[in-house]
Structure 1
Amino acid sequence: MANNLLAGKKGIIFGALNEDSIAWKIAEKAHEQGAQFVLTNAPVAMRMGEINNLAAKTGSEVVPADATSMDDLNNLFEKAESILGGKLNFILHSIGMSVNVRKGKEYTDLNYDWLTKGWDVSAVSFHRVMQVAWQREAMNDWGSILALTYIAAQRTFPDYNDMADNKAFLESIARSFGYQWGVRNKVRVNTISQSPTPTTAGSGVKGFGGFINYAEKMSPLGNATADDCADYAISLFSDLTRKVTMQNLFHDGGFSSTGVSEAVIERFEED
């Protein structure tokens, strides 16, 4: 239901690849709620995805940018402010990648060059995005900056591999930079720790189907879908959450607070 929660708000959305992307769903909901935004992704991802279809659907423009390149990010913010006619009210960072996961490397046998690449893409890029916005003074007061994460940053999921470390790094950056943004501009910075969701990136994790089924049985409300996550993100971009910052917000149907569920006990109980 559209009720113009984001009417007049302007932003940048990173990471929409196709209709399975959480960023795609967030862009659709933001458009429904009255926001204007620029869409961006790395050039290689844009060749693989369907971002231009999303741009047409939401009346948005696409500005390619590699989030690990300061030159690309400065160009992105300059063009976004020109296209949107002013400073930003929100930024979504929905970027994550592990070469080690893609290549099937075990956590006990990581390629450290690949590890560094994963840190840069998945976590340091969030700092880069905020640093460029900070130095350009690109955010309006009381704006909102949001990134997506997963509970493997706090708890061990063996097959999530070095992505767990990347997400822990991402969450720390949100807290550290969130303090600075809050003091200077009353901008809040948060992360959403989402249920396992069948996106293009998530589906590449070994045993991902098992993750989803287990989480569904553990969560009192069931897994949160990509559409559910989009609704939550909209609330965090809106003025309804002006005093929520530096938080890692679990959006997982109660999974993170459940020790064990009856469904899981029944599944493993011996006769």
Structure 2
Amino acid sequence: MSYNLLQGKRGIIFGALNPDSIAWKVAERAHEEGATLTLSNTAIAMRMGETQQLAKKLNTEAIPADATNVDDLNQLFTQSMDILGGKIDFILHSIGMSPNVRKDRHYSDLNYSYLDKTLDVSAISFHKVLQTARKLDAINEWGSVVALSYVAAQRSFFGYNDMADAKALLESIARSFGYIYGRERNVRINTISQSPTKTTAGNGVKGFDRLLDFAERMSPLGNATADDCADYCITLFSDLTKRVTMQNLFNDGGFSSMGMSLRALQQYEKGLHEDCECGPAADEHLYD
């Protein structure tokens, strides 16, 4: 159902790779709510993914840009304002990648070149987006910028690796830049800490299926879906949340406030006397 919450607004959505992407769902919902928008992803992601198909569906354009490259971002904002006919009202940063996770490097044995890449892509790119937009005066007054985070920014989760560091930095950038952009131009900046969600990126996390099941059992309302996250993003893009800024907002069915649920405890008790299914080697669980 559409409520016309974004009627007349213009936006940029980063990271819509395929229909499983949260960014894909957000773009569709924003369009349903009356917004016009452009899509952006890296050139290689556009070749491998389905971003162009989404752009066609939404009657818009997909602009290739590396969010870690300031020149690319300058071009993206300039083209987007030209295509959309004015300044931007909302931005979604849905970008994350860890070579250490992909290469199965343990957190106690990180490749630091990989770590630099993780932080640049998953967090520092957010600062570059905001800094570029501010220098170009590309965001309208009372505009809204949202980045997607995860509770691992505050808590330790096995297998999330250096992405936890990236998400912590991402949330810090939202607070620091939120103060500056808010005081200067009434632009609000927030992060959403989403439930574990089946996306291309999420599936790369070690033990993801088990994490998904655990979060479902722990959360009073169950895991929030990609569609749920899209709805939440729309409210933050809309004028209904004009004074919400510098916040990390949990969209996780209550998981972040839980200690232990009965469903999770009962499942744990069932496995107390069973051998681990992960393999016989003790070294596999040295740091679990």
TM-score (norm: length of structure 1): 0.99
AA aligned opposite 2:59: G
Q: Quote the residue 2:123 is aligned against.
A: 123
2:217 paired residue number: 217
1:154-165 map, 5 Å: 154-165=154-165
1:111-260 matched pairs, under 5 angstroms: 111-260=111-260
Aligned mates of 1:127, 1:24 — CA distance in 2: 22
User: C-alpha distance in 1, partners of 2:60/2:151?
Assistant: 32
Q: Return the alpha-carbon distance in structure 1 between the equivalents of residues 206 and 158 of structure 2.
A: 9
Any idea what the Cα deviations from partners look like across 1:105-148, whole Å, max 9, x if unmatched?
00011000010011000000000000000000001000000000
**1:79 partner amino acid:** Q
- In structure 2, the residue corresponding to 1:158 is in which secondary structure? coil
Report the count of equivalent residues: 271
Cα deviation, residue 269, structure 1:
3.2
User: Whole-Å Cα distance in 2 between the matches of residues 59 and 246 of structure 1?
Assistant: 32
Deviation per residue, 1:145-197 (Å, 9 max, x gap): 00000000000002000000000000000000000110011110000000000
Q: Structure 1 CA distance, aligned partners of 2:73 and 2:3?
A: 32
Aligned to 1:92: 92
Give how far 1:16 is off: 0.3
Deviation at 1:207, TM superposition (A): 0.2
- The equivalent of 1:69 in structure 2 is 69
Partner of 2:107: 107
Letter in 2 for 1:107: Y
Gaps of 5+ in 2: 273-288
Instruction: Give 1 or 2 for the bigger CA radius of gyration.
Output: 2
Residue 160 of structure 1 aligns to a residue in which SS?
Answer: coil
SS of structure 2 residue aligned to 1:28: helix
**1:267: which partner in 2?**
267
1: CA distance, partners of 2:81 / 2:19: 26
Following superposition, which runs of at least 4 residues in structure 1 exceed 3 angstroms of deviation?
Answer: none
Give unmatched runs, 5+ long, in structure 1: none
**Distance in 1, Cα, partners of 2:268 & 2:60:** 50
What is the identity, as a one-letter code, of the residue corresponding to 1:205? V
C-alpha distance in structure 2 between counterparts of 1:6 and 1:98, whole Å: 33
TM-fit CA distance, 1:267:
1.6
AA partner of residue 154 (structure 2): Q
Match of 2:279 in 1: none
Rounded to whole Å, the distance in 2 between the matches of 1:110 and 1:198 is: 25
Q: Say which SS state the counterpart of residue 140 (structure 1) adopts.
A: strand
Q: Which amino acid aligns with 2:199?
A: T
Whichever residue aligns with residue 59 of structure 1, its letter is: N
Supply the distance in 2 between the matched residues of 1:268 and 1:53 (Cα, whole angstroms).
44
**1:151 alignment partner AA:** V
Q: How far apart are the structure 2 equivalents of 1:78 and 1:33? A: 24
Q: Matched residues in 2 for 1:53 and 1:211: separation? A: 31
Q: Give the equivalent residue in structure 1 for 2:29.
A: 29
Give the counterpart letter for 1:169 in structure 2.
L
Identity value in percent: 65
Classify the secondary structure of the residue corresponding to 2:246.
Answer: coil
Instruction: Give SS of 1:148's match.
Output: strand
- Partner secondary structure for residue 13 of structure 1: strand
Q: CA deviation at 1:57?
A: 1.1
- Once the two structures are TM-superposed, the CA of residue 63 in structure 1 deviates from its matched residue by 0.8
Distance 1:149 1:4 in 2: 27
Matching residue of 1:57: 57
